[in-house]
Amino acid sequence: MDTKELLKKVRKIEIKTRRLSENLFSGEYHSSFKGRGMAFSEVRPYQIGDDIRAIDWNVTARLSEPYIKVFEEERELTLMLVVDISGSGLFGAKRQTKKEMITEICATLAFSALTNNDKVGVLLFSDQVELFIPPKKGKSHVLRIIRELIEHEPKSRGTNIGVALEYLNQVVKKRTILFLLSDFMAENYSKPLQISGKRHDMTCIRVFDPLEVNLPNLGLIAIKDSETGKASWLDTSSTALRREWNKKYNKLEQDFKTSVNKSGAKQIAISLNDSYVKALMGYFKSSR
């Protein structure tokens, strides 16, 4: 992709998603996340009615009179976007691919954070960590993130969600608002998901194509695995084959739901045939 075409795509996404974030999501984002964290402010002398659990025993011992720790609402938040850019994201039978929808969702969330003057960072992964951009404020920073989401070519096409979360837990120590975006067509990520769920305010967004759920009867068709590159023929007229296809998808979906529930994270499932705007609005309203 040449520079002119890239800038055109970035601008198109900016116009669409920034309007959404400013008109629809900024207030919802603020209501959903502001005030979830408390930061230490100061110590002051104990007063009758104060919670004794807030007593600072070190200061109390030093000054020979009770002092308590005072906390205040953290006003500055950090949004981390952990994004699956593996080969399966290129799948999309109709209007757009999973990668394109995920990019728009990320841009909308990033501009919502920008409106609130919060920091935004991103981690792109396949079956390895592809790119980490530390959290930072500013429009130019958000636009850089969008550019990377559009044009970054992964070194690998496989998927390993656990590797991404383990890396994130090493480099991001402070509690963040964490959105993990993927089709979750992967395995063995339950344990790292639980660790991240305890450390961060995490939401998992699963983007899928309905064709992945139920294989249509189209006769004999050629397919290519977007992650392994393996080509093969499928006889979609076979009822047994379509049943097995659906069974495999249902297992991945159930594994996702079970893993997210165990982690304590929230979850959103968005079909490529549906509006992600409606899904996000419903999520923000329920998270107030």
- Mean pLDDT, to the nearest integer, of 143-167? 93
> Residue 245 has what pLDDT?
85
Q: Name the CATH code of domain 3-33+77-286 (choices 3.40.50.410, 3.40.1280.10, 3.40.1670.10, 3.40.50.620).
A: 3.40.50.410
Mean pLDDT of the chain: 86
- The amino acid at 252: L
Residue 282 CA to its chain's centroid (Å): 16
Token match 């968005």: residue? 270
Ranges of each domain in the chain: 3-33+77-286, 38-73
> Residue 34 has what pLDDT?
56
> Residue 144 has what pLDDT?
94
Could you give the 3-state DSSP secondary structure of residue 167?
Answer: helix
Other beta carbons within 10 Å of 39: 10
- Mean pLDDT, to the nearest integer, of 264-278? 92
- Mean pLDDT, to the nearest integer, of 171-175? 89
pLDDT tops 80 at residue 2: no
- Mean pLDDT, to the nearest integer, of 211-225? 79
Query: The pTM is what?
Result: 0.79
Q: What percent of the chain has pLDDT over 70?
A: 87
> Residue 173 has what pLDDT?
86
Higher pLDDT, 278 or 74: 278
Interval 5-45: pLDDT, tens: 767 777 777 777 777 777 666 666 666 665 455 556 678 89
pLDDT tops 60 at residue 72: no
pLDDT tops 70 at residue 78: yes
Q: What percent of the chain has pLDDT over 90?
A: 47
Higher pLDDT, 281 or 256: 256
> Residue 1 has what pLDDT?
61
pLDDT tops 70 at residue 92: no
Higher pLDDT, 2 or 211: 211
pLDDT tops 80 at residue 268: yes
How far, in Å, CA of 106 to CA of 55, rounded? 42
Higher pLDDT, 1 or 260: 260
